Every structure is written in C-alpha cells, then in structure tokens.
Amino acid sequence: MKKIFSLIILFIFFTYETFSQGCSMCRGIVESDANSGGTGISSSINSGIVYLFTSTYVLIIIGAVFWYYRSRSYVKDQESKRKIKKRVASLVD
C-alpha cells in the first residue's frame, strides 16, 4: 500500500509542470485584458474559477455528509443486531 501511495505522489510531483500550464494561460489573458482597459473577460474568468472551486467543495461536503449519515445508521443497525443476539443468547441459556 505504501508503494502505491509513494508512486502516486511521485507521479503527481513529476507531472505537475506538464499539467499546470492552464493557470499561466488564464493569467496571461486576464493581464492582457486588464492592461487594455477591459473588464469583460477578466471578470468572467474569475467567476468561472470561483464556480469550479466552490462546486468541487460542495460535492465533497455532500459526499461527506452522506457518508456520515450512512455510517451512523450502519452503526445503529449493528448495535440493534448485537442487542437482539444478546437477548436470544440469554433466552437459550
């Protein structure tokens, strides 16, 4: 498991420069638009970045809440099954 994790970390570390070029392109577009006095595309790109940023975290939070409630109900089910087994065992003895 540690080998797989370390390989994934190494892959991310060595391919970071390859996949991180989109940010410099967006930055260049925004800077050129701001230098020319326009406000249209720079505000649109900023809105798009905020949308992508927040949508990811909203999905993560929804997944975490779903997982929490599912695990809570699972624990309650296991607890009730254990109580039933305990009652049945006390009846048999």
Please give the single-letter amino acid code of residue 31.
E
Burial 19-53, CB ≥16 within 10 A → b, else e: eeeeeeebeeebeebeeeeeeeebeeeeeeeeeee
What mean pLDDT, rounded, does the chain reach?
A: 76
Q: Tell me the backbone φ, ψ of residue 37, rounded to 5 degrees.
A: 95, 0
Question: pTM for the full model?
Answer: 0.45
Per domain, the residue ranges of the chain are 2-68
pLDDT at 62 over 90: yes
Coil, strand or helix at 13: helix
